[in-house]
Chains A and B, each alone.
Chain A
Amino acid sequence: MSGNHESEVRNPLILGNKTYHQMTEDICRPIEGKANKYWWVSFVIAFTTMIWGITCLSYTIGTGIGSWGANKTVGWAWDITNFVWWIGIGHAGTLISAILLLFRQRWRMSINRSAEAMTIFAVICAGLFPLFHTGRPWLDYWMLPLPNQFGSLWVNFNSPLLWDVFAISTYFSVSLVFWYLGLLPDLATVRDRCVNPTKRFIYGLLSFGWKGTARDWHRFEEVSLVLAGLSTPLVLSVHTIVSFDFATSIVPGWHTTIFRLISLRERFSPDLQWY
């Protein structure tokens, strides 16, 4: 979006007098080239951790949630802690991306993709905990208001946990769309540079026929603004709803309106979470 024109009163955002072509080359290198050593090291670590995570979750599903050490007065422990923690992480990403967009901070362009990706994956991580912490995770879909043949069974719209389901899934879908929308021009660039027809076909599908015309860019910007406008209040509401899990209960220490504020504070400084 930024032109060649640079403001004269501040330093340029991109140093080294790079041309658009050079920038495109730089950006596409990680995708088009071969993975380097560091990538492989990180991948192996991440993959091992994932396998370990899958093993642990399989054990949990196989033996029972009792293996997580909670008890009858502390019904939730690490599961809810991790859930709230990851939600906080997720919010930081959207905050950076959406609010900075609304405030027209162009420097966000250097970090918005990773911030948004962080949101997506943090929300996935957050969602995993409530899903697997249930006694019978294979029945988790009962928490969705799906038409069913169990009789007239429906979900309980009074339950903050159900609000959670809606809040998180809404937040996840908006963040996903926001993130994916930002990807479109770049996916098109990759598509245009592809020599391999299969790759070109796949990237062609992924880039939704992006042509880079002024109309494309216009709509892109409009939708980005709309989504940023949507996700900013979502950030506020989602964490509020997460805090409702505690605040609406009648357990002493939990039954307090301060939870909403604590949650908000967390959003701005997720590193300070769990007071």
Chain B
Amino acid sequence: MSKKYWKGVEELRNDAEFVRLKNNEFYENLPLDQVIEKKAQDVNTTPRRDFLKFLGFSVAAASLAACEAPVRKTIPYLIRPDQITPGIANWYASSYFDGYDYCSVIVKTREGRPIKLEGNPLNAVTKGGVNARVQASILSLYDDARYKTPISGGNPSSWEVTDKAIIEKLTAIAAKGGKIRILSSTIISPSTKKVIADFAAKYPTTKHVVYDSVSASAMRQANQESFGLNVIPSYNFDKANVIVALDADFLVNWISPVEHARQYAETRKLNGGKKSMSRHIQVESALSVTGSNADLRIPVKPSQQGAVAANLYNAVAAGTGASAIAASALDAETAKKIASVAKELLENKGKSLVVCGVNNTAIQNVVNGINSLLDNYGTTIDLDNANHLRQGSDTDLTAFLDELNKGEVAAVFVYNSNPVYTLPNGAAFAQDLTKKVELSVSFSDRPDETSAVCNYVSPDHHAFESWSDAEPRTGIYSVGQPTIAPLFSTRQAEESLLLWSGNPTNFHDYMAAYWSSAIFSKTSGSWNKVLQDGVFELPAAVTKNYKTSANLNTAAETIGKMSASGFELVIYEKVGLGNGQQANNPWLQELPDPISKVTWDNYIAVSPKDAREKGWKQGNVVTVKAGTISVKAPVVIQPGQAFGTASLAIGYGRTVAGRVADNRGVNAYPFTSLTGGNINMSVGGVDIQKTADEDYMLAATQTHHTMMGRAIVKETSLAEYIKDPKAGNEDELLTIKVGKGEEVKKKAGDLNLWGDFDNGNHHWGMSIDLNSCIGCGACVVACTAENNVSVVGKDEVNRSREMHWIRIDRYYSSDADPKEGESGDIKKMEDPSDMPRVVFQPVMCQHCAHAPCETVCPVIATSHSSEGLNQMTYNRCVGTRYCANNCPYKVRRFNWFRYTDNPQFDFNMNNDLGKMVLNPDVVVRSRGVMEKCSMCVQRLQDGKLTAKKEGRKLVDGEVKTACAQSCPTHAITFGDYNIPDSELNKMWNPDERSYHLLGELNVQPNVYYQTKVRNIEEGKEA
């Protein structure tokens, strides 16, 4: 007998009422009806209106609920601002200097947003070049870590409150005569210097202390001792036939790298039948970008640098008849090389250049001595038109730190520098600053280690929100103008200082007044013209020849005392982060190191020989200990590193910078030391011990090192090139069978399966001169900025999913061991030698005429344009990735995930502020589609439209791709094959250096390369 279940007694009894209700879906009547009925009785309302209201509400509610896409508001201009046409870019000349990098730039703005920087070709110093860090600074403008208001005691505050408090304290301190110190990095702005002078006039106890995180103070001191001039000279690398650099990474970091790189590249170009080039010898410990471009590289330990300089001096002195100085002996091999270097220098007296990046006065004095003997002053070195980019004085810094430690300083203003992070003993500085100083103010525009411990933060504008002027070299000026209204409640540091010194003027007026009184009084000029051009020049002084008057024997004595035992640690700057100021910039973090190709980290680089001996493997975590300083970092085995040395880059290990940079890598600044009056960038007696820690994951974009016997980068020596311009560029010939037993050899390009395209109007192409490419990475960042390339983060880079449209491949080459060749050990071919040569090769989409990617796409998402471009239709792409598989150059990039608005990729595209940098002309790619270099098709289109509107044809060089535009050495030439005398056609010469990458595949690329030529005689020197 089954049981009966019921919900209620009514159901059990089957009441009539229950049955009636059960038949209704709703137990009660819908309240809606009641409302309408009730209201209907009210004479003042009508049911129709209510009905419409309800209807309207429900339609709105239903459609809102149905909307999945977030509502994005676009607000049209009610009154269009002057000069802004939506869709048309405005360009403003401006200047960038952050105390470390200087560039005169042109800022591209779209609808009021600066989105891209290009070099200002009018500027005599940078001449249109922009390096990777300056290129990336546009993103630092949109960093959401920036201060949004002034900070008082660690809390957001208002300007009124902060100003009042600071002025009160300043007045009190000044009244009792307390010392006020303004600590800044180099200031090249004459107006800012005047502001500081005004401030010092109001508060007479003020002193301005200048120091550089990467100091060149020893050079200024040495020039003072040698020539009585406390300056850093301007160098003319372009006038030098022989360049010797002693630990100076002058192409990417040292003092004025953009300028040096351009000058250097001019001496290396072999266009138009030129058969000579400069010879470059690099003496260094860590393999730098500059060193990897050298013809001869002499690896030495940091402690030997002085001995090298002294020996070189003696060798040169022997040739000129000057007296020798004391010099400790070098090992036989190095001594032999130094002797031959001296010979070459002597052969090029007056046309040679010796530069030295060691921050040591004695060594710098000896180097000045060498240049004096060689009569280089007045030709390759210009002391009369000094370079102003490094003005820091280590002596002043020492004195200031001493005062601070003694508690004598009452107020410290920190401008454009981050001493807590960058000083050798930043922790002690932080302690003194918090405990012994009454008033500490930081002008930092974003949180840093120093601003975090200051009483007040008076956030400065970003460079592109401010007015500025700059004098990078005596008599050469550039000005900067704001390109966007301030994003946050910030105020230009100069205005703050002026306000606190009782002059509430705006800095633009102040600057204009200064210019008309101080600069236009020398040479007439117009302020508006200066703003428009961004540059202004006074006539240059005549350069004179100088002879050193320093006592070189004293210097030699000091050098003789320099010694170090055990392992030596070199502290160096990376191309990406430099001194670490822009560490929170994801573009720079993801820029692969040109040499190691590692992204997102710094590491201990050791030579393969040392690694073998000590049993270190790539990624092993080691403890590096020098004195009381100790860090844990992963090992990178770096061919080219001098034996017995390790190197560690500064710029990493930030703790207060923002979520991108915080705790990434380790801070190397504590290993530097302020001994002997100068900041020392190396330390001896370092103990490196392997730890039991798990191996550290380093995200490198290139994990193979050699070309494995293939001719990817074609290379030859100058001697061979003079004999035969096609040296090193031999064609790969294919053997074709014709008839019985007959064979002919043919060039791959002569065999065609398909017909040619008809590129009637334009036929775009590109030439890449491997002889000019220095591997600096400026093009990579420029491309990222121009084409909205996503940042994917360390994990994804480690999975080989970086999105850069252009990459710079680095290969090591060394003379192959014939024995290894015989045994056919392929794996051994991948091991570079301990001291290899290095070649760089930028690779982007080669825009093949017979593109393998185009034939395999099932949906024709990638196709050939009538202008020779291989184009990608994102809308049509379903993401089979067949094209990327079939690309022989591996330049196609796939959107594995959604890289925008995705917390997993919390970089600039995950917040509205960071997205302001996006170029509206380039679509942001969605998940699941393939992307790649488009040869900046948006720029081509823009150029074509401009020409069309003006009713003319495009002129050669009128449009350039972002990479070609930004290249400081003009290694990339973009152009049109259909213009007969275009630069591109002039460069194309397959009988000399031009070749197609992997030409044997006959995919007929529209990009070609030029053989790299080194100024060496093969076999003559090892």
Report A's interface with B, CB cutoff 8 A: 63-66, 69-76, 130, 133-137, 139-140, 142-143, 150, 153-156, 158-162, 165, 245, 248-251
A73–B878 CB distance below 8 A: no
A161–B880 CB distance below 8 A: yes
B929–A136 CB distance below 8 A: yes
* Residues in B972-1022 with C-beta less than 8 Å from chain A: 1001, 1003
B856 at the interface (CB under 8 A from A): yes
| A75-B894, A154-B860 given; A69·B879 CB < 8 A | no
Determine how close the nearest CB of chain B comes to the CB of A133; give it in whole angstroms. 8
B801, B860, B879: the one contacting A155 at CB < 8 Å is B860
B896–A249 CB distance below 8 A: no
B859–A73 CB distance below 8 A: no
B878–A66 CB distance below 8 A: no
B859, B877, B886: the one contacting A251 at CB < 8 Å is B886
B890 at the interface (CB under 8 A from A): yes
Complex-state Cα separation, A189 to B765, whole angstroms: 72
- When distances are taken between beta carbons in the complex, the residues of chain A under 8 Å from B879 are 65, 134-136
B878–A159 CB distance below 8 A: no
For B895, the closest partner residue in chain A by CB is: A135
- When distances are taken between beta carbons in the complex, the residues of chain B under 8 Å from A76 are 881, 885
- When distances are taken between beta carbons in the complex, the residues of chain B under 8 Å from A64 are 895-898, 927-928
B893 at the interface (CB under 8 A from A): yes
A153–B860 CB distance below 8 A: yes
- When distances are taken between beta carbons in the complex, the residues of chain B under 8 Å from A161 are 856-858, 880, 882
A135–B885 CB distance below 8 A: no
B878–A143 CB distance below 8 A: yes
Complex-state Cα separation, A36 to B892, whole angstroms: 55
- When distances are taken between beta carbons in the complex, the residues of chain B under 8 Å from A250 are 852, 886, 888, 1001, 1003
A159–B876 CB distance below 8 A: no
Complex-state Cα separation, A143 to B856, whole angstroms: 12
Contacts beyond the supplied A64-B895, A64-B928, A248-B856: 18 A-B pairs with Cβ under 8 Å = A64-B927, A71-B801, A72-B800, A72-B801, A72-B892, A72-B893, A73-B800, A75-B884, A76-B881, A136-B928, A137-B878, A155-B858, A155-B859, A158-B855, A158-B856, A249-B856, A249-B885, A251-B888
| A65-B896, A136-B879 given; A251·B927 CB < 8 A | no
Determine how close the nearest CB of chain B comes to the CB of A128; give it in whole angstroms. 15
B885–A251 CB distance below 8 A: yes
27 A-B Cβ contacts within 8 A?
A: A66-B801, A66-B897, A72-B801, A72-B890, A75-B884, A130-B880, A135-B881, A135-B894, A135-B928, A136-B877, A136-B927, A137-B878, A143-B878, A143-B880, A155-B860, A156-B855, A159-B857, A159-B858, A159-B882, A161-B857, A161-B858, A161-B880, A161-B882, A248-B856, A250-B852, A251-B885, A251-B888
Identify the 5 closest CB pairs spanning chains A and B, nearest first.
A135-B879, A135-B928, A66-B896, A75-B881, A71-B800
B799 at the interface (CB under 8 A from A): yes
**Contact flags B781-814 to A (C-beta < 8 A → 1, else 0):** 0000000000000001001111000000000000
- When distances are taken between beta carbons in the complex, the residues of chain B under 8 Å from A140 are 878
- When distances are taken between beta carbons in the complex, the residues of chain A under 8 Å from B852 are 249-250
For A248, the closest partner residue in chain B by CB is: B856
- When distances are taken between beta carbons in the complex, the residues of chain B under 8 Å from A130 are 880
Determine how close the nearest CB of chain A comes to the CB of B68; give it in whole angstroms. 13
Complex-state Cα separation, A245 to B857, whole angstroms: 11
Complex-state Cα separation, A72 to B265, whole angstroms: 33
Complex-state Cα separation, A159 to B856, whole angstroms: 4
- When distances are taken between beta carbons in the complex, the residues of chain B under 8 Å from A249 are 852, 856, 885-886
- When distances are taken between beta carbons in the complex, the residues of chain B under 8 Å from A153 are 859-860, 876
A134–B885 CB distance below 8 A: no
Determine how close the nearest CB of chain A comes to the CB of B976; give it in whole angstroms. 28
- When distances are taken between beta carbons in the complex, the residues of chain A under 8 Å from B893 are 72
Complex-state Cα separation, A76 to B894, whole angstroms: 12
A72–B858 CB distance below 8 A: no
| A66-B896, A165-B858 given; A134·B801 CB < 8 A | no
- When distances are taken between beta carbons in the complex, the residues of chain A under 8 Å from B860 are 153-156
Determine how close the nearest CB of chain A comes to the CB of B879; give it in whole angstroms. 2
- When distances are taken between beta carbons in the complex, the residues of chain A under 8 Å from B885 are 75-76, 249, 251
Complex-state Cα separation, A76 to B139, whole angstroms: 34
* Residues in B851-883 with C-beta less than 8 Å from chain A: 852, 855-860, 876-882
| A249-B852, A250-B886 given; A72·B894 CB < 8 A | yes
Complex-state Cα separation, A137 to B880, whole angstroms: 9
Complex-state Cα separation, A159 to B852, whole angstroms: 10
Determine how close the nearest CB of chain B comes to the CB of A125; give it in whole angstroms. 19
- When distances are taken between beta carbons in the complex, the residues of chain B under 8 Å from A162 are 858
Determine how close the nearest CB of chain A comes to the CB of B515; give it in whole angstroms. 52
For B930, the closest partner residue in chain A by CB is: A135
* Residues in B885-928 with C-beta less than 8 Å from chain A: 885-886, 888, 890, 892-898, 926-928
Complex-state Cα separation, A150 to B860, whole angstroms: 13
A63, A66, A72, A73 interface centre (most CB from chain B within 10 Å): A72
- When distances are taken between beta carbons in the complex, the residues of chain A under 8 Å from B927 are 64, 135-136
Complex-state Cα separation, A150 to B876, whole angstroms: 10
Determine how close the nearest CB of chain A comes to the CB of B894; give it in whole angstroms. 7
A143–B897 CB distance below 8 A: no
Complex-state Cα separation, A257 to B928, whole angstroms: 31
Determine how close the nearest CB of chain A comes to the CB of B800; give it in whole angstroms. 4
Determine how close the nearest CB of chain B comes to the CB of A54; give it in whole angstroms. 20
- When distances are taken between beta carbons in the complex, the residues of chain B under 8 Å from A137 are 878
| A134-B928, A142-B859, A156-B860 given; A73·B799 CB < 8 A | no
| A135-B878, A249-B885, A250-B888 given; A143·B929 CB < 8 A | no
Determine how close the nearest CB of chain B comes to the CB of A78; give it in whole angstroms. 13
B802, B857, B930 interface centre (most CB from chain A within 10 Å): B857
- When distances are taken between beta carbons in the complex, the residues of chain A under 8 Å from B802 are 72
Determine how close the nearest CB of chain B comes to the CB of A136; give it in whole angstroms. 4
A65–B857 CB distance below 8 A: no
* Residues in B729-777 with C-beta less than 8 Å from chain A: none
Determine how close the nearest CB of chain A comes to the CB of B712; give it in whole angstroms. 13
Complex-state Cα separation, A245 to B884, whole angstroms: 13
| A64-B897, A65-B928, A135-B928 given; A143·B859 CB < 8 A | yes
- When distances are taken between beta carbons in the complex, the residues of chain B under 8 Å from A70 are 881, 896
For B927, the closest partner residue in chain A by CB is: A64
* Residues in B295-324 with C-beta less than 8 Å from chain A: none
* Residues in B827-858 with C-beta less than 8 Å from chain A: 852, 855-858
B799–A71 CB distance below 8 A: yes
Complex-state Cα separation, A113 to B856, whole angstroms: 37
- When distances are taken between beta carbons in the complex, the residues of chain A under 8 Å from B856 are 158-161, 248-249
For A165, the closest partner residue in chain B by CB is: B858
For A249, the closest partner residue in chain B by CB is: B886
Determine how close the nearest CB of chain A comes to the CB of B748; give it in whole angstroms. 12
Determine how close the nearest CB of chain B comes to the CB of A174; give it in whole angstroms. 22
Determine how close the nearest CB of chain A comes to the CB of B327; give it in whole angstroms. 52
B796, B802, B885, B927 interface centre (most CB from chain A within 10 Å): B885
Complex-state Cα separation, A88 to B860, whole angstroms: 29
For A74, the closest partner residue in chain B by CB is: B800
- When distances are taken between beta carbons in the complex, the residues of chain A under 8 Å from B796 are 66
Complex-state Cα separation, A136 to B880, whole angstroms: 9
B860, B880, B882, B898 interface centre (most CB from chain A within 10 Å): B880
For A153, the closest partner residue in chain B by CB is: B876
A139, A154, A158, A159 interface centre (most CB from chain B within 10 Å): A159
| A64-B897, A72-B800, A251-B886 given; A134·B880 CB < 8 A | yes
Complex-state Cα separation, A57 to B860, whole angstroms: 26
Determine how close the nearest CB of chain B comes to the CB of A64; give it in whole angstroms. 4
Complex-state Cα separation, A75 to B852, whole angstroms: 15
- When distances are taken between beta carbons in the complex, the residues of chain B under 8 Å from A139 are 878
- When distances are taken between beta carbons in the complex, the residues of chain A under 8 Å from B890 are 72-73
Complex-state Cα separation, A153 to B898, whole angstroms: 26
Complex-state Cα separation, A251 to B801, whole angstroms: 19
A135, A150, A158, A245 interface centre (most CB from chain B within 10 Å): A135
- When distances are taken between beta carbons in the complex, the residues of chain A under 8 Å from B858 are 143, 155-156, 159, 161-162, 165
